[in-house]
């Protein structure tokens, strides 16, 4: 709810960083606090990956993956209170989080034509702003004029422990998977995970979710 003292946020917040930094949770809560919309761009890459897996194309065949993603209809809600992704009209919220999808998403998101298509869709969704956008390349590629532009980090141990808690899985296996995905996401040729020079770095290792959200609310208000 907007109040006179705290009008709805009309800008664009870019939240980038590797997995396990708490990005999704804080991005959603930040959007709610700012009375803004929320866009999870990782969910779009994950939906594209579900499409590629269902089509059975080789994930190293960029041309085939691109063809599948071009014909897939990916719709995502920007309501922080009702996050959902549709692939060709079907909700795929569970499928996009499966181990199979998670293992394949770095390959799909490394295909330049897939990125071009999804970045264009993301820019359309951002539209006139009033939105918190999370991903890997929001401040660097998708919306370089976003303010604030924040890069979330956390120690490798903290990130693995958080993900293991979410997935109720083994910390060592999760740590290995995070390291593998970080390596792929940071080393790919097309828009790799990087920290923009003008991004504010926020290390969440020793902060709880509320502390991170409070700090982001301050940054968003200061950016007005
Ligand atoms: O945030 P996430 O873990 O759900 O993202 C899934 C994958 O998508 C991640 O391995 C990297 C990729 N991704 C990307 O390349 N660019 C984005 N803007 C968001 C996610």
For residue 42 and ligand 1, the question of a CB distance below 6 A is answered with yes
Which residues on adjacent β-strands are paired with residue 3? Answer: 6
Distance 46 CA to ligand 1 centre (A): 7
d(CA 212, CA 26): 7
> Six-digit token pair at 120?
């264009």
CB 188 near ligand 1, within 6 Å: no
pTM of the prediction?
A: 0.92
Residue written as token pair 């970045």: 119
Residue 113, burial from CB neighbour count under 10 angstroms (0-12, 13-18, 19+)? middle
Structural domains for the chain: 12-216 (3.40.50.300)
Q: How do beta strands 200-203 and 131-135 pair? A: unpaired
**Residue 13 host element (H or E):** strand 12-16
Instruction: Please work out whether the CB of residue 18 comes within 6 Å of at least one atom of ligand 1.
Output: no
Among 12, 1, 2, residue whose Cα is nearest residue 130:
12
Per-residue pLDDT of the chain (224 residues), as tens digits, is 444 456 689 999 999 998 888 899 999 999 999 999 999 999 999 999 999 999 999 999 999 999 999 999 999 999 999 999 999 999 999 999 999 999 999 999 999 999 999 999 999 999 999 999 999 999 999 999 999 999 999 988 888 888 777 777 788 888 888 888 888 888 889 888 888 889 999 999 999 999 999 999 999 999 97
In the block, which residue shows the tokens 């034509």? 113
Task: Give 6's strand partners.
Answer: 3
In the DSSP assignment, the letter for residue 142 is I
Q: Which of 45, 99, 121 to mutate to test the pocket of ligand 1 (most atoms within 8 A of CB)?
A: 45
């Amino acid at each position: 709810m907007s109040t006179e003292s705290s009008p709805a946020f009309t800008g664009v917040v870019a939240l980038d960083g590797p997995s396990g930094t708490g990005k999704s949770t804080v991005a959603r809560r930040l959007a709610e606090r700012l009375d803004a919309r929320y866009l999870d761009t990782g969910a779009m890459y994950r939906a594209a990956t579900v499409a590629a897996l269902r089509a059975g194309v080789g994930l190293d065949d960029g041309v085939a993956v691109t063809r599948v993603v071009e014909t897939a209809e990916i719709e995502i809600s920007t309501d922080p209170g009702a996050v959902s992704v549709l692939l060709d009209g079907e909700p795929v919220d569970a499928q996009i989080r499966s181990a199979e999808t998670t293992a394949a998403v770095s390959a799909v998101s490394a295909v330049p034509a897939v990125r071009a298509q999804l970045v264009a869709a993301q820019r359309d969704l951002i539209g006139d702003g009033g939105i918190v956008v999370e991903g890997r390349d929001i401040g660097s590629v998708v919306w370089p004029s976003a303010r604030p532009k924040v890069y979330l980090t956390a120690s490798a141990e903290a990130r693995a422990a958080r993900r293991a808690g979410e997935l109720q899985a083994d910390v060592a296996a999760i740590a290995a998977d995070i390291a593998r995905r970080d390596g792929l996401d940071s080393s790919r040729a097309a828009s790799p995970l990087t920290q923009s020079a003008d991004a504010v770095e926020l290390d969440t290792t020793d902060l709880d979710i509320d502390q991170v959200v409070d700090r982001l609310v301050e940054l968003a208000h200061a950016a007005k």
